[in-house]
Each structure stands twice: as C-alpha cells, then as structure tokens.
Amino acid sequence: MLYPEIAPRMTGMLSRDDGHEIYWEEVGNPDGIPVIFLHGGPGAGISPNSRRFFDPEKYRVILFDQRGSGKSKPFGSLENNTTDHLIGDIEALRESRGIDKWLVFGGSWGSTLALAYGQACPDRVLAFVLRGIFLGRETEIAWFMDGMGRFFPEVERSFLATAGFDAHPGWQRMLDRYAEIFAGKDGEDAAIDAARVWSAYEATCCTLLPDHGLVEDFEGDEIALALAKLEHHYFVHRCFFEPDQLLRNLNRISHLPAVIVQGRYDVVCPPMSAFELHNAWAGSKMVIVDDAGHAASEPGIVRELVRATDSFDGKNFAGN
C-alpha cells in the first residue's frame, strides 16, 4: 500500500544560529506539490518508510529530523528545544528550499507540531493530513503516564519498576522520578536503561496486534535515547503550550482542508482528541480505522494515509 522505496534526491544540514544542525532530505518530483513530513515523538526521527506515503510523481516531499533526533545534531539535546524552536526550523527549511506553501503531514506528536506550525504560519499551509491526534494537553500527558498501562499492565510493570515503584504513584510523580533518572541521579547506565524501557513501553502500546520488530526498533539507541528524553522534556513543559491552545486557536486554520486519520483502538492517543478536533473544524474529514491502534505502520492506517495524500491534486486546496 505504500509507494515503492525511494532514495532522496537531495540531503543536507540546515545550520541554526543556536548551534543546532537540522538534517533534511528531499524525494519525489521537484515540480510537484510541496509537502513537509513531521515525524512523531518528539524524538522518533524519520525513516525510509516516511518517504513512501506520497506519490513521487505528484509530490515534492521534504522530510527532516527534528532537533535532537535522528541525524540532527547535537543528538538528544534538550537545549533550545521547544515547540517554537521547531516551528522556526520548519519555516527556515521552507525558505531555504524556496517553497511558498506546502501540505503539512504529521502523525502523533507530528500532528501536534503540524497544528502548532499551521496556527503560527497559516499563510504557508495548503492543507493538512493528520494521524493519531495528540493536542498536547495535560489530560493526554497524564493518560500516557498513567492510562496506557490499563490495557498493557504486564508492560507497565517494567515502566513502574524502572522508576522504583510497585504500584502507580500518579502521573506527575512518574514524570518527576523519570526526570531524576534521565538527569543521571542513578548513573548513566540507569538513564540509558530507563530510556529503553520508556520507548519499548510506548512501542508495545502502539499497535493493535503485537509488533515485535517495532518494539526492537524503539529499543535501539538510534530512537530510544532521543525519544524518551525528548518526550519527557516536552511532557514536563506541557509541550510549551497554554491550556487548550491548539483548540482555542483553531480559527486560524479552520478554513484549510484537513484529513484526520485515527485508529479506533489507539491506546497512546485515544480517539477522543481526534473527535474533539474534527468537531471543532467544520471543513475537516475524519477517517476512523476500525482495525488499528496508533502506529503509522499498521495496514489500515497506511491505507488511509495514502488515500488522503492521493486525494489532493492541487485543485482542492483553499483558494483554488
């Protein structure tokens, strides 16, 4: 269902004034519809399959590793790493690639960042394709820390034990304890082990059916160390949002087309947030995938994301 594997036509590093270097790559038709791919996490980085949701004859696809992720440098850095910094990186990348407007594609945390970017720069967006909606609210953070384990109690046991708990102490106490571990209070090895446990816990909860390959990928150093540290960092700071910011500011982008793809059995980002977003966005289209959880790799999610990108032809953007 994905488009065939494709290698980047171009890659590069975008240097930022605050010391970060952002890895980017471009695939597809240089004269096609521009689209920016925003990965999840924060901290997950892009993968070769990230390129394959788009018809390479139709789209000019720009992908990048967000600050601290993947090939961007410095790896795992929390310094100067906020939502506003990421929005600035997206705008700098757009300008450097000579793009006026683009379609914004993002899943999970990528949906959060897509909405935040769109609300900051609405004149630069053609449309949105969003998956696994996360609105960065305290209730959603609390669910991640204290709710997912109701469906995966056997995996939550390791998540709790790594923090030194036999029973759940509450989501804020879990955040505080992981802050101590990631800061090195228990030693460097403990911090690395905790990052792997955090990432494996999330990966296990991501899919409707077990996907051991996904869990192994998330446990690897390339993802685990950045994913756990950066997710925790953004959770502690409530994603650098005011309460309900993304819903309150939806009027800035509600004139733009949007397709929302949501797994019915998404345990990481439960469907309620997707329904709230869709109900507040009159022009949005929502597709519920009844045989999927959270992961972009699940067949039903892949099918609907590709259908969504295929549905745009340049004539159905706002103003055309």
In this predicted model, what pLDDT tens digit does every residue of 121-163 receive, in sequence order? 999 999 999 999 999 999 999 999 999 999 999 999 999 999 9
Q: Strands of 59-64's sheet, edge to edge?
A: 10-15, 21-28, 59-64, 33-38, 102-107, 125-131, 258-263, 284-289
Structure tokens at 128: 């949105």
- CATH number for the segment(s) 10-135+241-311: 3.40.50.1820
In this predicted model, what pLDDT tens digit does every residue of 74-111 receive, in sequence order? 999 999 999 999 999 999 999 999 999 999 999 999 99
CB 260 within 8 A of CB 285: yes
pTM of the model: 0.97
Structure tokens at 58: 């139709």
Q: Given this model, what pLDDT does residue 194 score?
A: 96
Q: Given this model, what pLDDT does residue 271 score?
A: 98
Adjacent-strand bridge partners of 107: 131
Phi-psi region of 184 (alpha: psi -120 to 50; beta: other; left: phi over 0): left
247 burial type by CB count under 10 A (0-12 exposed, 13-18 middle, 19+ buried): middle
Q: Given this model, what pLDDT does residue 173 score?
A: 97
Residue among 289, 265, 262, 263 nearest 277 (CA): 262
Residue among 173, 164, 186, 179 nearest 78 (CA): 179
Residue of 20, 39, 232, 294 with catalytic role: 294
**Res 34 pLDDT > 70:** yes
The yes-or-no answer on residue 212 being catalytic is no
What is the average pLDDT across 221-227? 87
Distance, in Å, from the CA atom of 165 to the CA atom of 266, rounded to the nearest integer, reads 26
> Residue 19's CB: how many other CB atoms inside 10 A?
11
Strands (DSSP E) found in the chain: 10-15, 21-28, 33-38, 59-64, 102-107, 125-131, 258-263, 284-289
Distance, in Å, from the CA atom of 76 to the CA atom of 234, rounded to the nearest integer, reads 13
Residue of 266, 273, 278, 284 with catalytic role: 266
The yes-or-no answer on residue 294 being catalytic is yes
**Mean of per-residue pLDDT scores for the chain:** 96
Where along the chain do its domains lie? 10-135+241-311, 139-239
DSSP H or E stretch at residue 207: none
For the ranges 181-185, 262-266, 284-288, the lowest mean pLDDT is seen at 181-185
The yes-or-no answer on residue 266 being catalytic is yes
Residue of 108, 111, 273, 284 with catalytic role: 108
